[in-house]
Amino acid sequence: MACEGEQVDRYLMPAVRGEKMDALAMTEPGAGSDVRGMKCAAIRDGGDWVINGTKHFISGAEHAHFVIVFVATGEDQPPRSLKKRITCFLVDRGHPGFIIRDGYRSVSHRGYRNMVLDFDDCRLPVWRRCLVRLTTGST
């Protein structure tokens, strides 16, 4: 719902119509409940963003046409202390630098699969960024 411009036609409406499936990726090996501890980060490079890092325990990624991934994009200085800025990107399955691989075998819930997502210099154009106002981020 935070989609705008080209994101609406390429992601939001196909997802609403059931034509495209998505997965939501926040959790990392060192950042679960403490989501602001995330290390997966995107840096700005000219007109693009470049993502590096790993997400794990991601449900539905084995079927997803695209993932909605939350990554660190810097820090803000609110009155009390530094706060990690978190920004959301839309990444297609098969995009260069983006790999979806098998996750862990569950002790129970045998029918459930989870996946690990690797981002290795995954370069995205700026328009794939959304939800920048999730925190105070604006760049």
Ligand X SMILES: Cc1cc2nc3c(=O)[nH]c(=O)nc-3n(C[C@H](O)[C@H](O)[C@H](O)COP(=O)(O)OP(=O)(O)OC[C@H]3O[C@@H](n4cnc5c(N)ncnc54)[C@H](O)[C@@H]3O)c2cc1C
Q: Which two tokens stand for residue 72?
A: 């660190």
CA distances from 75 to 31, 41, 85, 92 (A): 17, 11, 5, 26
Residues between 52 and 111 that touch ligand X (CB under 6 A): 57-59
Tell whether the torsion through CA atoms of 35, 76, 69 and 50 is positive or negative.
negative
**Residue nearer to ligand X on the CB measure, 112 or 127:** 112
CA distances from 14 to 25, 65, 98 (A): 19, 10, 21
Question: Which residue is closest to ligand X by CB?
Answer: 32
Q: How many residues bind ligand X, per CB under 6 A?
A: 9
Which member of 12, 25, 38, 116 binds ligand X (CB under 6 A)?
25
Which member of 24, 50, 99, 132 binds ligand X (CB under 6 A)?
24
Q: Which residues bind ligand X (CB under 6 A)?
A: 24-27, 32-33, 57-59
